[in-house]
């Protein structure tokens, strides 16, 4: 067994009352989550299906079925899981009413799966279900991907890692190709009434800048017909004219994000050809992010990097630079997706991703970002947000509670 795995199996068993020791237990559990991503999990599909209610659906982000995230024994939620694998030391075993995680026969503890909020099955006025318009997060917010396709496919300029146009082929979660501002606002209203509209994330595939701006403003206007304000983020491309960023702020968005995906200039151009060609290049993206800080404020401007597409030092250099400018640069775990040009490639080992997670969260803490800001950007926020909380001591005993957005009502 690898040294990293040996450390984890020991640490997840013992939770000392001392705060520092409890903190170490949780950090080791975060490492375990990355090992599960790297190595996969063995389980009986028929047994686990009874516990995970979304098992039959394709994930909104990955084109495979199975276990894609779960909460570990001490409360850390492991994301970006690669699903089932026969060739792994990790297994899930049903024991009565519990699902237990094992490592080579060593019992690590009971795990739980995310539950689907009842609102997701509610019908909108159009006859569509809520879940065809928006997703409900475990943190108490909703995300809307307004378009199920990205226009870059018509130019042959898709980001090489991205599967949005592949996911559009799935009929389950992509029934509505373009979600009208009226429908989005209706879904937001239902979410707010149900107590899960405390954060609103609006994103989508690449569209021409003018159409993107008009759409976001129309959605914000439709929401504000019922509510004087909302808390959320608009995820957009870097605009040609930076002054249009004021319009997003005036419309009611409290946060803005330009997802760069890669920091290294040359790799950015190769991996994200459309973003390089359609948004005036790498430097323009960086300049727009910096400009946005003057409008939205420190910690309310975000970006995302796909962890594993570029060298570690380069990635950390970008996170450090952007943080020094007041920008929270979140990151995910590279997942080779079916149907993309990078299908069949491998993500770095868990130890690589842990080094990124560990060092980046130290950067976030050093630059004074808040927990809310860690969760207020793109969907990758909770990946580092949990470790940020652990390092800040935001947990009770040796368990990390599920983060919830502050109530708006």
* Amino acid 156: pLDDT: 78
The predicted-structure confidence for 124-147, as pLDDT tens digits, reads as follows 999 999 999 999 999 999 999 987
Q: Which residues contact 173 (CB under 8 A, 6 or more apart)?
A: 57, 58, 60, 131, 132, 167
Domain end position, chosen among 49, 77, 111: 111
CB atoms within 10 A of CB 268: 23
Question: Token match 């699902």: residue?
Answer: 99
Strand pairing partners for 103?
A: 90, 106
The predicted-structure confidence for 243-282, as pLDDT tens digits, reads as follows 999 999 999 999 999 999 999 999 999 999 988 887 789 9
Could you tell me if 64 and 141 lie in one domain? no
- pLDDT mean across residues, the chain: 89
Contact 350, 343 (CB under 8 A): no
Mean pLDDT of 344-363: 97
Could you tell me if 252 and 193 lie in one domain? yes
- Range 338-346 contact pairs with CB under 8 angstroms and sequence separation of 24 or more: 338/63, 338/64, 338/163, 338/166, 339/63, 339/163, 339/166, 339/169, 340/158, 340/160, 340/161, 340/162, 340/163, 340/166, 341/158, 341/160, 342/160, 342/161
Strand pairing partners for 235?
A: 257
Could you tell me if 306 and 219 lie in one domain? yes
Strand pairing partners for 147?
A: 178
Could you tell me if 102 and 137 lie in one domain? no
DSSP code of residue 74:
T
Could you tell me if 272 and 360 lie in one domain? yes
CB atoms within 10 A of CB 368: 11
270/231 Cα distance (integer angstroms):
35
Could you tell me if 71 and 96 lie in one domain? yes
Inform me whether the pLDDT recorded for 171 exceeds 60: no
Q: Using pLDDT thresholds of 50, 70 and 90, give the confidence band for residue 163.
A: confident
Could you tell me if 223 and 245 lie in one domain? yes
Residues in the chain: 409
Helix (H, G, I), strand (E, B) or coil at 298: coil
Inform me whether the pLDDT recorded for 10 exceeds 80: no
Residue 408 lies in a domain: no
Residue 323 lies in a domain: yes
Domain end position, chosen among 87, 111, 135: 111
Could you tell me if 138 and 241 lie in one domain? yes
Mean pLDDT of 13-36: 86
Residue 249 lies in a domain: yes
Could you tell me if 34 and 126 lie in one domain? no
254/225 Cα distance (integer angstroms):
18
Contact 300, 254 (CB under 8 A): yes
Inform me whether the pLDDT recorded for 61 exceeds 50: no
Q: How far from the centroid of its chain's Cα atoms is residue 6's Cα?
A: 28
Could you tell me if 186 and 39 lie in one domain? no
Residue 287 lies in a domain: yes
Could you tell me if 225 and 102 lie in one domain? no
Residue 399 lies in a domain: no
Task: State the total domains in the chain.
Answer: 2
Q: Using pLDDT thresholds of 50, 70 and 90, give the confidence band for residue 3.
A: very low
SS3 content of the chain, % helix, strand, coil (to 5): 40, 15, 45
Domain end position, chosen among 111, 146, 163: 111
Give the structural domain span for 19: 3-111
What string of DSSP letters covers 330-374? Answer: EEEE--PPTTSTTTT--PPPHHHHHHHHHHHHHHHHHTT--HHHH
Could you tell me if 135 and 208 lie in one domain? yes
| Sign for the pseudo-dihedral over CA of 168, 170, 175, 179 | negative
Residue 409 lies in a domain: no
Identify which has the larger pLDDT, 359 or 82.
359
Mean pLDDT of 81-85: 86
Residue 156 lies in a domain: yes
Phi-psi region of 259 (alpha: psi -120 to 50; beta: other; left: phi over 0): beta
Residue 373 lies in a domain: yes
Q: Could you tell me the CATH number of the domain that includes residue 334?
A: 3.20.20.70
């Amino acid at each position: 067994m690898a040294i990293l795995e040996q450390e984890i199996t020991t640490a997840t068993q013992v939770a000392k009352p001392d705060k520092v020791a409890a903190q170490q237990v949780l950090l080791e559990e975060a490492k375990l989550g990355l090992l599960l991503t790297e190595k996969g999990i063995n389980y009986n599909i028929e047994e686990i299906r009874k516990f995970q209610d979304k098992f039959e659906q394709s994930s909104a982000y990955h084109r495979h079925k199975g276990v894609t995230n779960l909460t570990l024994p001490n409360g850390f939620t492991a994301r970006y899981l690669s699903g089932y694998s026969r060739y792994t030391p990790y297994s899930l075993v049903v024991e009565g009413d519990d699902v237990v995680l094992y490592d080579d026969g060593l019992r690590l503890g009971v795990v739980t799966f995310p539950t689907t909020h009842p609102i997701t099955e509610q019908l909108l006025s159009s006859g569509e279900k809520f879940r065809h318009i928006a997703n409900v997060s475990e943190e108490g917010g909703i995300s809307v991907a307004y378009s199920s396709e990205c226009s870059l496919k018509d130019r042959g300029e898709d980001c090489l890692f991205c599967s949005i146009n592949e996911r559009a082929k799935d009929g389950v979660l992509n029934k509505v190709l373009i979600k009208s501002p009226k429908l989005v606002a209706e879904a937001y209203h239902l979410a707010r009434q149900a107590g899960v509209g405390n954060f609103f994330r609006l994103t989508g595939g690449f569209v021409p800048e003018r159409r993107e701006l008009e759409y976001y403003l129309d959605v914000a206007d439709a929401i504000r017909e019922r509510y004087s304000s909302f808390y959320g983020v608009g995820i957009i491309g870097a605009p040609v004219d930076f002054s249009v960023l004021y319009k997003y702020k005036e419309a009611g968005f409290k946060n803005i994000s330009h997802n760069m995906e890669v920091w290294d200039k040359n790799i950015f151009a190769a991996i994200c050809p459309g973003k390089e060609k359609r948004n005036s290049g790498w430097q323009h993206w960086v300049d727009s992010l910096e400009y946005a800080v003057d409008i939205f404020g420190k910690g309310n401007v975000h970006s995302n990097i796909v962890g594993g597409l570029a060298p570690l030092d380069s990635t950390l250099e970008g996170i450090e630079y952007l943080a020094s400018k007041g920008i929270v640069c979140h990151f995910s775990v590279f997942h080779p997706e079916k149907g993309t040009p990078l299908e069949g490639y491998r993500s770095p080992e868990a130890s690589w991703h842990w080094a990124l997670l560990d060092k980046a969260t130290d950067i976030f803490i050093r630059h004074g970002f808040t927990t809310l800001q860690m969760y207020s950007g793109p969907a990758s926020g909770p990946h580092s947000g949990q470790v940020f909380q652990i390092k800040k001591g935001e947990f009770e005993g040796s368990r990390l509670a599920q983060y919830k957005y502050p109530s708006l009502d």
